[in-house]
Amino acid sequence: MCAIKYEEVPLGRVNLSHRRPTNLKRFWYGAAYYPEHWDEATRARDAERMAAAGMNVVRMAEFAADLMEPRQGEYDFSLFDETSAKLGEKGVHTIMCTPTAAPARWLTRDCPEILRVNADGKTMQHGSRQHCCHASPVLRQWSRAITQKMAEHYRDNPFVIGWQTDNEFHCHFSECHCPNCQKAFVEFLRHKYENDIGKLNTAWGTAFWALTFERFEDITTPKPDLPAYENPAWRLDYCRYLAHTVATFQHEQVAILRENNPDWFVMHNGVIFSHLDNLGLLGQDIDFHGYDCYPFFLADPDERGHTQASGLNRARACGGNFIIPEMQSGPGGQKPYLQNNPEPGEMRKMALLSVAHGADSLLHFRWRTCRFGAEEYWCGILDHDNVPRRRYEEAAQQGRELAVIGSKILGTHVFVDAAVAYTDMEVNDSHNSYPLGLPAPGKVAEDCHRQLWQRGMAVGYVHPLDDLAGIKLYVIPHLAYFDPAWLQNLTRFVENGGTLVIGARTATRDVNNNVVGETLPGALQSLAGITVEEYGRQNEPVKRLLSIDLGGALVPSTLWYEILEPKGKATRLYPWRGRHLDGRCAVSLNQVDKGRVVYAGTYFDDPVFSALLPELIRLSGLQPAWPGLPPRVEAVLRTDGKKNIWFFFNHSDDTVTIPSLPRGKELTTGKNTDGTYELPRYGVAVIDAFGNQ
């Protein structure tokens, strides 16, 4: 049995740019397909119907371990062989999946030690999914064996084009405190701290509350609040351990798949879940990420345009363009809920929005709604009775449109010139380890992103280490966890003319997740040109009012204040009003070479950020992506520098008139644009622009 190797790539290495296109040569369009849920008579017409809807791919087998290996070492791939052959004849290819999110019952029966244990000590059971521990040597051995068998079996199959590893790592929960994890966590730490327990004690600050460890083997996984608060450095290393464990679990599968057929692409449909090192080992191992897109988790239709765009942009921050292995195709339903039904045209709008924001292929979830099991009401393109209705017609319309659009957008990236810092796993975990009741940086980032989006800006999320060229305005909300290694890239961005906006509390914690000892804002002191002389939390009810004075207009601060002291050439942009802060610096401006840094000594809640935004836009020279759009119409540009494909979406409930569009060919109608353009409710225009517009 092979032990987990900890010499793998370190966590969080960023060289996957948000501008990276996928390496796909063809736009794949299709659906997640579960032949194991249907009898032959029901399946009989599937291939023909898929092909008629313009589909050229399905994803299969991620939950079929019981069928493919009914007893240990006895393999039966016949259903998938037969299905992929039948589909292949009609031009529908297959993305295979490793079925490791739900092993067969014989494995959990014979080796119950593979089951996960939660922080309360409860052992998971067979019957749903994600109940097995990624650190379990037994699970890993089985994972390698089934991956090897499947890879050998399908390596010469002309219809199998690529793979998905597992399914949505950490979707349900990610912690594990089983005996395997106790051992593996110790090994992880031993490797990280070079077998020197003194180094660990210093890094974690174990002098506090007699935490000092004498030996690595005495360390356990941290269980929150037993009875009082845990050490945040211990917690962050545990989160890193979880991320590393799942990444090395995937790594073993990827190595086998690549060895068997280097032409296959390999992806994983995770990205949004916690403790995933999307920019590090997990992301570096795969060709591109998969992002499962379900905008209807949000009940308010007015918010879905932005939240979908935001989710897609977050996915793109993790390594560029991606594919959508699961795109909402009907209302989702599980035991406690059933989402709203997408109205006619809405499914298409959502699918094309995904393409605009970086999807280089797209599969609907799912082909047909299942009649049994935990997701009986997770609605697919076909209903339970297998009768094609409006969702099928709409899917077919998309098939026709994507046949034209798909080939045009491959090789392009999404244009952004405004960006909010992508809050990576360590930023989020650090915040969660010590939130002080403040909003999470990821949440504030989303709010800032929304405000820029509402003003029509070409906004995305970009990691501080990523390529910031071409970005005019870059906002770092409140990244308490801040790696000083990010500083050089940010400095270059500012020197080259960028406007960097930093929110309070940024760079207050170090990479061990302890509070920094330097005067705040720590590593950012010289770039921002300030020191923080005093800070304080503001709690409800906020009766001692503090406001930022924007030339007479007072904007209340309600969560946090900092008194700033500008140094050198830095100046006070806006002063505080109220209490002992009156007249002191609230927001500073530091001109650095061709660019500038704005530091705000408060939290970017909606009133504060919207009040600051006009000046930030002015300073940075930012312009809307496309001028003159009516409210709630979104423009997105995909470009490779030469060709420009513009997307326009009507997120409002009414027909809107757009005064002018880029001149070019509208790809869903085939007609040239000329003058004004009407977009009905859920309307989309996709324009292959003439020349360089």
Q: Point out which residues bind ligand GAL (CB under 6 A).
A: 167-168, 171, 292, 326, 332, 365, 375, 378
Total residues in contact with Zn ion, by rule CB under 5 A: 6
SS3 241: helix
Measured over the CA atoms of residue 232, residue 234, residue 235 and residue 236, the dihedral's sign is positive
394 binds, among ligand GAL, Zn ion, none (CB under 5 to 8 A by kind): none
SS3 309: helix
C-alpha 246/C-alpha 140 separation (Å) is 11
Site for Zn ion in 150-189 (CB under 5 A): 176, 178, 180-181
Closest to ligand GAL by CB, 109 or 335: 335
Closest to Zn ion by CB, 181 or 254: 181
Closest to Zn ion by CB, 68 or 139: 139
Q: How far is CA 348 from CA 300, 329, 380, 430, in A?
A: 18, 9, 14, 38
180 binds, among Zn ion, ligand GAL, none (CB under 5 to 8 A by kind): Zn ion
Q: Which residue is nearest to ligand GAL (CB)?
A: 168
181 binds, among Zn ion, ligand GAL, none (CB under 5 to 8 A by kind): Zn ion
378 binds, among ligand GAL, Zn ion, none (CB under 5 to 8 A by kind): ligand GAL
- Using the rule CB under 5 A, give the single segment among 128-136, 239-247, 330-338, 351-359 that binds Zn ion: 128-136
Instruction: Specify whether the CB–CB gap between 631 and 592 falls below 8 A.
Output: no
Closest to ligand GAL by CB, 234 or 365: 365
Site for Zn ion contains 602 (CB under 5 A):
no
C-alpha 151/C-alpha 261 separation (Å) is 8
Report angle CA 308, 311, 313 to the nearest 5 degrees.
105
176 binds, among ligand GAL, Zn ion, none (CB under 5 to 8 A by kind): Zn ion
CB of 198 to ligand GAL, least distance (A): 44
CB of 36 to ligand GAL, least distance (A): 13
Structure tokens at 295: 């905008």
Decide the pairing of beta strands 595-600 and 499-503: parallel
Instruction: Specify whether the CB–CB gap between 523 and 484 falls below 8 A.
Output: yes
Closest to Zn ion by CB, 178 or 462: 178
Cis ω for the linkage preceding 627 (within 30 of 0): no
590 binds, among Zn ion, ligand GAL, none (CB under 5 to 8 A by kind): none
Closest to Zn ion by CB, 18 or 177: 177
Residues 6+ apart with CB under 8 A from 338: 331, 332, 377
Closest to ligand GAL by CB, 6 or 173: 173
The four Cα atoms 136, 137, 142, 148 give a dihedral, to 10 degrees, of 120
Closest to ligand GAL by CB, 381 or 633: 381
Beta strands per DSSP E along 290-415: 322-328, 333-334, 337-338, 359-365, 413-414
Cis ω for the linkage preceding 388 (within 30 of 0): no
CB of 168 to ligand GAL, least distance (A): 4
The amino acid at 30:
G
C-alpha 41/C-alpha 46 separation (Å) is 10
CB of 326 to ligand GAL, least distance (A): 6
Beta strands per DSSP E along 33-186: 57-60, 93-97, 160-164
Beta strands per DSSP E along 311-458: 322-328, 333-334, 337-338, 359-365, 413-414, 418-421
CB of 288 to ligand GAL, least distance (A): 17
CB of 11 to Zn ion, least distance (A): 19
Closest to Zn ion by CB, 242 or 350: 242
CB of 390 to ligand GAL, least distance (A): 21
CB of 178 to Zn ion, least distance (A): 3
SS3 647: strand
Neighbours of 521 (CB within 10 A): 25
CB of 101 to ligand GAL, least distance (A): 8
Count of alpha carbons within 13 Å of 239, Cβ hemisphere only? Answer: 25
CB of 33 to ligand GAL, least distance (A): 12
Closest to Zn ion by CB, 178 or 323: 178
Give the residues lining the site for Zn ion (CB under 5 A).
Answer: 133, 135, 176, 178, 180-181
